[in-house]
Chain A
């Protein structure tokens, strides 16, 4: 089968006719049957094998969104002066030991007054680049495509179609706690997550305070 032999002779049809049935094997119907049976068995084994393979492969996709979120302590309220917006880093609740620095996630904490906060994801709502806060002009600006947001996270200009993503927060025993764990995107808009059931209403009574995960808090 050399290429030159393969070159199509003049006038020949593009596709060769199907192989003429081999007379040798055609007669042996039992062997043909057994071969077909073996194909069937292999098909069944393949189908069984596909279950763990697909399960393994699709595992990260099928995981429930809320399962990744947990409450993270960002530090005592004293760390957040009223009227200021500060960058705070926390260790993501779900990490592997080989994640290195990628397990550290920053967020913008805005203390409006008292126990009223806004905690913004670092990711621009357009395409996820890290937004920067400019206190002088009271704007978040994105370096990638020029998205801009006002101090309250609402869209100011540029390509984003919505405001910044906001994490849910609680104030627990004088500390700011946010619900985070998953990279916020348009398909996973941090704020719509339902909080973990066992921690609901944690504000009213003293709930178990999660250990501080942030690098910036001194405690």
Chain B
């Protein structure tokens, strides 16, 4: 045994004499870090790196089978899912790995922000981190395109439409993005190149820089309230702290990183096994228009924001907001490179993280059920509750048919079923008088199209009569107060039903 050990050391030394990498690597691994940084809060960066390695590995394995041409990509994904042994699992790992990576990069970013890690001398580490976030999102978007299905096709259409709004150079930019006049073969090839060569290359190089700087400048020490960062004294203070409380990163601090990385890998595998791969959804055939395209999870919030922006603000917001947001993140360490690091003394920072998290969460949630979209098949699939038809006149029942036939259900729900674009109609007559309903139906307004051209007078009459019966749980009908005043001198008061 000791002979074997001696021989292995000899082999190691043979390589080490020529490579000279072992000693510096070991020294880097064992470098001293302040004891207070050996915390469970400091594990997200290494976890993101581990998932990046997973993504590279699974990505290479998928590329063994994937056919990056518009005509065959979708078929090759189906082939991967069903004909290649464990192909579905590799696709699932890559897909879930992507979601986990975006999530962990965001958590990592929030953590270093709240811990003031971006302050002197780690400004550039943060700035490169901002680019790493953008590159990670770039990988997520281009990866979604490579899953070349209906969502990818129309997602590219959304991307091209956004790019086309760039002033002056919109048209050439669309050409540059699509690689041709339409979304087709050259478009997929471009995104394949971006996803497989360009972005990963830049990403890996920047991760290298990022980690190099962490080693060179030392991991951010645990912030203490009142311990301010000062450009003149920080480096010596940090050095002093490391000398006083230093522990070797490997193994004293790194065991938490490695345990957390293992947990995350297990979580990715569990999700992959339990939920399986993402899609592909329908074929990327633009002539199949029965589709409701949606982006992947990381971009749902943008999808939701785009639904709520008023038309006049959309283009400015689309191009000014990202510039401001990214610019603010890049400038943050340069403008606030000194001072307090501890979150308890930085209420604005904590508030910002909370507000941004709530905003992203709320818009993502909205993006999951898209209340702004008409439900295209509601008019043929959702029934009118029987209670709304009981004891109704034939005219009113005819109105229910009109409501169904004219696709009102696509935007308005009744009995909890139907679209959410417009208000639910269950209690419409308790909020609007007959006159108001007629006006709204015929002229539209407030985000409702005018139906004057789509309804003949008898249909309108029937529809409005049906709608006036919808008063929720027998709420009192809406009353036109002014009409009541005018008519009260002539006849006894009552709901303004007859004209």
Contact = CB atoms under 8 A, between A and B. Distances in A.
The size class of the interface chain B forms with chain A is: 35 or more
B292 A144 contact: yes
Dominant secondary structure of chain A at its interface with chain B:
loop
Contacts of A172: none
A98 interface: yes
Interface string A10-23: 11101000000000
A187 to B, nearest CB: 3
The size class of the interface chain A forms with chain B is: 35 or more
B464 to A, nearest CB: 16
Contact of B157 (A104, A134, A150, A183): A183
A146 B235 contact: no
Contact of B178 (A10, A60, A65, A181): A60
Contacts of A139: 407, 449, 454
Contacts, number: 245
A129 B154 contact: yes
A216 B176 CA distance: 32
A101 B407 contact: no
B235 A8 contact: yes
B75 to A, nearest CB: 9
B421 A146 contact: yes
B172 interface: yes
Interface stretch (A37-45, A157-165, A195-203): A157-165
B236 interface: yes
A219 interface: no
Interface string B170-181: 111111101111
Contacts of B111: none
A137 B454 contact: yes
A143 B454 contact: no
B293 to A, nearest CB: 6
A157 B287 CA distance: 24
Interface of A: 1-4, 6-12, 14, 58, 60-63, 65, 68, 87, 89, 92, 94-106, 122-123, 126-132, 134, 136-139, 141-146, 148, 150-151, 156-161, 181-183, 185-188, 215
8 contacts: A2-B27, A3-B27, A6-B215, A60-B179, A63-B175, A106-B287, A136-B406, A141-B410
Given A104-B286, A159-B310, A188-B164, 20 more contacts: A3-B28, A3-B216, A7-B216, A8-B239, A9-B239, A11-B235, A11-B236, A99-B184, A100-B72, A105-B182, A128-B158, A129-B293, A136-B379, A144-B158, A159-B306, A161-B314, A183-B157, A183-B174, A183-B178, A183-B181
